[in-house]
Structure 1
Amino acid sequence: MSLIGIVTTEFGIIGILPQIANNYKLTINSAGILLSAFAMVVAIAGPFLTVLTSGVNRKKLMGVSMMIFMVTGLVSSLSPPFWLLMLVRLLPAFLHPALVSAAIGAATASSEKADAHKMMAIVIGGVGLATITTVPFATFVADLFNSWQASFMIQTVISIIAVAAIWLFLPSMPITAHKGYGTQFKILKKPLFIASSVFVFLMNAAMFTTYSYFADYLGKINNMDPKMISLMLLVFGGTGVLGNFVAGRLLSKNVSTTTVGFVAGLTIVSIPIYFSGASSPWLFILIAVWGFFHTPCFLTGQVYMIETAPEAPEFANSLSISFINLGISAGTAISGLSIAKFGIHSAPLVMLLFGGSAIICFLIREAMTNRKRRQSMISL
């Protein structure tokens, strides 16, 4: 439930971005900073706060974090000046990776190693569940009441429910074996971990070049009204849940093949998105396919990074979240610059560029892995 609250807070703004831009008299790419700045704070501050809070009881950390999400959502719903809206958007971003790491740690702590990927898939499934339920619902409510502030009220209610669920149903989870800071930071010297980090950055940049402007793109290029856009968000999220389930199963068999398979699908789908036009039956299928490949990339990217740092899994996970959000910020910002110069139709081309770069980075990382494996065999 906490992850649903996080995702609704971070990505719920995607469906109402055009309304916010209109309310504050901003261009769509300028309004996009509400998403990219959130992601940038997560990327920069997240790992350090995760390390600093790594000895804190997971229940207390998750509860306090969600209370911050709740308060900031409430303030946002009051239609504050844009500078204040930006500020309260940034506050919960500081604890975002620590909260996700704690949730994943709580879910996988008592599971067998073979089932760890499936447990991660269940937790990360909150991303897909939010994109199929709360994100489109928040967009629908905003359109129903002709008020983007209503979307933030939905986010606030979800955070309240998450806080209640954490305090009432989650057992106390004190950290019994706290790893030293030196052990955790040591993974930053591992070439394979660094290569995996760059790959995750590029992949998530590709994911959010177009998805960040989902509502504006479908409105201007595909001539969809807000109600239809809400439906398309629902379709996107629904197939994303399915994709996440499939990815969770496949990761247990082969991490690398699963990871590159989904990012390749995401990259390829940018081409028909670019050539899509006014609403038609095949557009419904296109968005369904897009969602299927998009959502699992959160999970596959995290697993791909974490497997290179088994000695510090929670810190590695927080770093993966940071590189995910660094990619979100870069993809949103660079696509925004392209939109400002060439129009909204250029977003899928930026998606194709980042996706292709991610695949090249993946191939380089795999070559490094194979070389290391050969050297280990020779030394034996």
Structure 2
Amino acid sequence: MDKRIYFLMILSFIIGLVELIISGILDLIAEDLHVSIGQAGLLITVFAVIFAVASPILLVMTAKIERKRLTLVCLYIFLIGCIVTVFAPTFSILFIGRIILALSGALLIILCLVMAPSLVGEQYIGRAIGIVSVGVSASLVLGVPLGLIIGDSFGWRAPFVLITILTALAIIGVHVLMESIQPKPQIPLRKQLAAFKNHKITLGLTTTFLYITGHTIMYAYFKPYLEATTDFNTTWISVIYLIFGFSAVVGGGLGGVLADLLGSRKTMIIALVVFSALFFIFPYSTDSFPVFLIIIIIWGILSWAISPAMQSYLIEIAPESSEIQQSLNNSALHLGVAVGSVIGAGIVDTLSVEVNPFAGGIFIILSFITVVISISSKKKTTYKTKSAI
């Protein structure tokens, strides 16, 4: 395995931190910049929406640019976004900083995902994507507690000072460690989008959207759920979040390994069956801590084990348009986060937070149905499985 894969994992971790690290410090931002927490929450919304929409568009627009050079350009823009965020005197300036970070970060994450397969042999494609996914999953699940700890100790700007420093180190790392990586020969956008006439691709992307929506309905409101259904104090809740986070990190790597060993199709089916069952069992596990802990660990693992398998599956379906498919899969993931948060909020406000796991489970069942239909569908064209940039 090329060691540069692990550098891409670290790079994806640094970029991914920006998205949710702000969640734990919204109250600090609101107080300092004299806005409501609801307004501060728009910083998450705008980032998620831009991140989801921009990556496929930017990937097409930059299709001819050499990948190392493009990565460096994006990192310098990302660094500017970090600096704007750290020194933002008003909420409006902070909002602009988030837009800069979202635009550059969206392309950086997808670049890491599409560069990874080009650094390994065909038999390690799933594993390479899984390793990069570890960085993404680690940033998303560890960002909240990390931002909370650093923000409470040193102020809400401190987490972004850390990310600024890490970004500067990443720029040095790209200059030193990464070699020139030429883009794949450009395929006309019309021909790329023609691949989506294949229902296997459309249903695969729908699967990602549905299972992440189901996961987020529960995860976004996990703290109030624990407060409503258990006697755990704040310390124990933090411990549970960390256990979940480390499990998710393991899941990202494990999903890639299983995709290589069992095949992407079997990995996704097995994971989604267990995942959906888990959500319906979850409400009845809080009375037994050992059972509850096991479910938390399995949930964390499965929440990110499916992503690398899906990425491998999309490459297998149509390798000649794999870059745009991976980008759209990343978009589907972030749209799922946004939609799941909104649905979860509606359930909490109108029904009860205790309904969230059942609602999440329904969406995951729907994702199982779409992936089965996708796998069972016939391909109109047979492609050779090969990924290169």
Query: TM-score, normalised to structure 1's length?
Result: 0.84
Q: Distance in 2 between matches of 1:32 and 1:206?
A: 21
- Residue 358 of structure 1: how far off its partner (Å): 1.0
Which residue of structure 2 lines up, in the alignment, with residue 67 of structure 1? 76
Partner amino acid for 2:129? M
Deviations 1:141-194 (A, max 9, x none): 22344x343333333333232222222322232336333333322222222211
Which residue of structure 1 lines up, in the alignment, with residue 193 of structure 2? 185
Q: Distance in 2 between matches of 1:32 and 1:261?
A: 36
Query: Does the CA-based 8 Å contact 2:75-2:104 persist in structure 1?
Result: no
Moved over 6 A (4+): none
Residue 26, structure 1, aligned to residue 34, structure 2: no
Which residue of structure 1 lines up, in the alignment, with residue 213 of structure 2? 205
Q: Distance in 1 between matches of 2:87 and 2:236?
A: 27
Residue 355, structure 1, aligned to residue 345, structure 2: no
Q: Distance in 2 between matches of 1:22 and 1:307?
A: 49
- Residue 249 of structure 1: how far off its partner (Å): 2.0
Q: Distance in 1 between matches of 2:223 and 2:354?
A: 13
1:129-168 equivalences under 5 Å are 129-130=138-139, 136-145=145-154, 147-168=155-176
Q: Distance in 1 between matches of 2:31 and 2:313?
A: 40
Deviations 1:187-235 (A, max 9, x none): 2222221111111111121122222344554456546555544433321
Which residue of structure 1 lines up, in the alignment, with residue 344 of structure 2? 335
Q: Distance in 2 between matches of 1:32 and 1:301?
A: 30
- Residue 84 of structure 1: how far off its partner (Å): 4.1
Question: What percent of counterpart residues are identical?
Answer: 25
Which residue of structure 2 lines up, in the alignment, with residue 311 of structure 1? 320
Q: How many residues align?
A: 369
- Give the SS at the match of 1:183: helix
Q: Distance in 1 between matches of 2:364 and 2:27?
A: 26
- Counterpart selection for 2:269 from 242, 260, 263: 260
Deviations 1:291-349 (A, max 9, x none): 11112232223223332221211111111111111211111222222223235444323
Query: Does the CA-based 8 Å contact 2:282-2:295 persist in structure 1?
Result: yes
Q: Distance in 1 between matches of 2:275 and 2:92?
A: 34
- Residue 271 of structure 1: how far off its partner (Å): 3.1
- Residue 82 of structure 1: how far off its partner (Å): 4.2
Which residue of structure 1 lines up, in the alignment, with residue 7 of structure 2? none
1:1-380 equivalences under 5 Å are 1-17=10-26, 24-26=35-37, 32-78=41-87, 81-130=90-139, 136-145=145-154, 147-175=155-183, 177-218=185-226, 221-222=229-230, 227-252=235-260, 253-275=262-284, 280=289, 282-369=291-378
Query: Does the CA-based 8 Å contact 2:134-2:250 persist in structure 1?
Result: no
Which is further off, 76-85 or 330-339?
Answer: 76-85
- Residues 279 and 170 of structure 1, relative CA distance in 2, 3 Å threshold: farther
Partner amino acid for 1:320? N
Query: Does the CA-based 8 Å contact 1:131-1:236 persist in structure 2?
Result: no
Q: Distance in 1 between matches of 2:94 and 2:171?
A: 22
Which is further off, 11-20 or 201-210?
Answer: 11-20
- Residues 14 and 298 of structure 1, relative CA distance in 2, 3 Å threshold: farther
Which residue of structure 2 lines up, in the alignment, with residue 377 of structure 1? none
Q: Distance in 2 between matches of 1:361 and 1:189?
A: 16
Q: Distance in 1 between matches of 2:27 and 2:284?
A: 22
**Structure 2, unaligned stretches of length 5 or more?**
1-9, 382-389
Query: Does the CA-based 8 Å contact 1:140-1:230 persist in structure 2?
Result: no
Q: Distance in 2 between matches of 1:140 and 1:214?
A: 18
Query: Does the CA-based 8 Å contact 1:49-1:95 persist in structure 2?
Result: no
**Structure 1, unaligned stretches of length 5 or more?**
374-380
Which residue of structure 2 lines up, in the alignment, with residue 378 of structure 1? none
